[in-house]
Amino acid sequence: MKTKLLSILLVVASLVGLAGGGMALKDTMDSKAYYESMAGSSGSIDTLEGGIQTLKENEPAYLEGKAALEEGKVAFEEGKKQLEEGQKAYDEGKALLEEKQSEYDAGVKQLEAADKKLKEGYQTLVNNHKAYEQGKKDYEQGEKDLAAAKAYYADPITQLKAGIAQCEAALKSLEEGSDQYNATKTQLQTLQAQLNAINSGLSSNEKKLKEGKKQLEAYELGTLRYYDGKRAYEAGKKQLEEGAVALEEGKAQLEEAAKQLEEGKVKLDDAEKQLADGEQQLAVFEDGRAQVIDGLNTAMGTGDVAGRLGEGFSFMRDEENLDYDKAQQVVDAARAYAATVTGGVTKELASKAIASGATLLASVLALVGAIFGFGGKVPALGKFSIGALVLGAIGLVLALLAGNSYSAAAGAGSAALLLAGGGANAVGGLLGSIGGLGAKKAPAAPAAE
């Protein structure tokens, strides 16, 4: 939320700076042209007088059309911005939907494979169930039989071991090779063979019993795994069903967004054509007025024409429109004298041009920083905010130092807006740099399952 507020602040600062810097640069260039024209010939005063009269007759219709055009431009820029943001959101939504569709398709294939495996596992359990039940009975009976056999052979084994021990002891006292030695040895071998046969039989039964137990455990483990897999399958199936619903909703929203974008583009194209037509119509009047103002500026800057008209004299009714009676006074005074521009003009206009350029560049940096801010790239927001701060401050200081006397005499009225633009960028850049560079890096988003 904080980053979004900083981004919005930078956008506002950028718009103020663009308006101030742009208008100030335009006024500076107009003033430059005005004073350059003053340095030459004053031109035809009669032609200038005729132009003033023509402008006076056509001005009411012009002012009405200009007001409508300015309102249209504001609405157009806002609509353009909204359309760009909408297109960006649409593209991001489309990419996300395609990603989710791919994940869903992969999930369907995995679920199908899991379903097949479950069915095979279930069939295996069914096929082996009778064998498992019989094996279980056999194992239980085998345990009883083995226990009975061990009990049955317990005494014979003891007797055989005792006999073997007696034979081994007797052999030690008998002469090797004698008849009694050979007979005792034969008896020992017979007893050992009997003992080995009993032990072998018991061992064989124990081994068969263990193998049977392993088979039973394998079946039981398979049963557990089957039910674990079945539970996982059901959970995955439910998740896919929910994902399918979400995908359909996302598709519907995306289709609606695409429809709105197309409608917005059509409206924007129509508005742009209307604005272009309006500008062409106004341009006729503005071109004529610009020529008249150029001529008046030339006259006012000629010799002591301005002095004859008195201190604070202006032939402009406001920042753009002429006071036609006073314009006629300029024409009357200019018929007597012409002069070149003063040295202070160059200094003032150069300073204002640099200030306008710095303010415009600061506005661009502020706007870029805001875009990064809306994208969640906080460090980038901070870095671009520093640039907006530095350039905004430069534009503000230069605008203050430049002054406005010569520009005002040329009909320029953007000094206050230029100061506001530089100040807005400086303040917005300061807050953006503090908020952006002081913020912690956001944690990475968790990977999609």
Q: Which of 230, 246, 262 is the last residue before a domain boundary?
A: 246
Residue 238 has pLDDT above 80, yes or no: yes
58, 194: one domain: no
Please compute the mean of the pLDDT values over residues 134-158 and round it to a whole number.
Answer: 85
Last residue of a domain, one of 211, 246, 281: 246
pLDDT tens-digit profile of 258-275? 888 888 888 888 888 887
Task: Give domain status of residue 73, yes or no.
Answer: no
Residues 231 and 362 in one domain: no
Within this chain, do residues 277 and 241 fall inside the same structural domain, yes or no? no
The verdict on residue 100 lying in a domain is no
Co-location of 142 and 26 in the same domain: no
Q: Is residue 200 part of a domain?
A: yes
3-state secondary structure the chain: CHHHHHHHHHHHHHHHHHHHHHHHHHHHHHHHHHHHHHHCCCCCHHHHHHHHHHHHHHHHHHHHHHHHHHHHHHHHHHHHHHHHHHHHHHHHHHHHHHHHHHHHHHHHHHHHHHHHHHHHHHHHHHHHHHHHHHHHHHHHHHHHHHHHHHHHCHHHHHHHHHHHHHHHHHHHHCCCCCHHHHHHHHHHHHHHHHHHHHHHHHHHHHHHHHHHHHHHHHHHHHHHHHHHHHHHHHHHHHHHHHHHHHHHHHHHHHHHHHHHHHHHHHHHHHHHHHHHHHHHHHHHHHHHHHHHHHHHHHHHCCCCHHHHHCCCCCCECCCCCECHHHHHHHHHHHCCCCCCCCHHHHHHHHHHHHHHHHHHHHHHHHHHHHHHHHCCCHHHHHHHHHHHHHHHHHHHHHHHHHCCHHHHHCCCCCHHHHHHHHHHHHHHHHHHHHHHHHCCCCCCCCCCC
The verdict on 281 and 375 lying in the same domain is yes
Pair 289, 182 in one domain? no
Model pLDDT for residues 168-197, shown as the tens digit of each residue:
888 888 888 888 888 888 988 998 999 899
Q: What is the pLDDT of residue 193?
A: 92
Residue 110 has pLDDT above 60, yes or no: yes
Model pTM score: 0.34
Looking at the domain assignment, is residue 95 inside a domain? no
409 vs 333, which has greater pLDDT? Answer: 333
Q: Domain check: are 288 and 400 in the same one?
A: yes
The answer to whether position 429 is within a domain reads yes
Among 246, 279, 307, where does a domain finish? 246
Going by pLDDT thresholds of 50, 70 and 90, the confidence category of residue 345 is low
Quick one: pLDDT at residue 242? Answer: 83
Instruction: Give the mean pLDDT of the chain.
Output: 80
Does 258 fall in a domain?
Answer: no
Task: Evaluate whether residue 98 is within a structural domain.
Answer: no
CATH of the domain at 225: 1.10.287.1700
Q: Is residue 74 part of a domain?
A: no
pLDDT higher than threshold 50 for residue 445: no
Give the number of domains in the chain. Answer: 2
Range of the domain at 283: 2-68+270-438
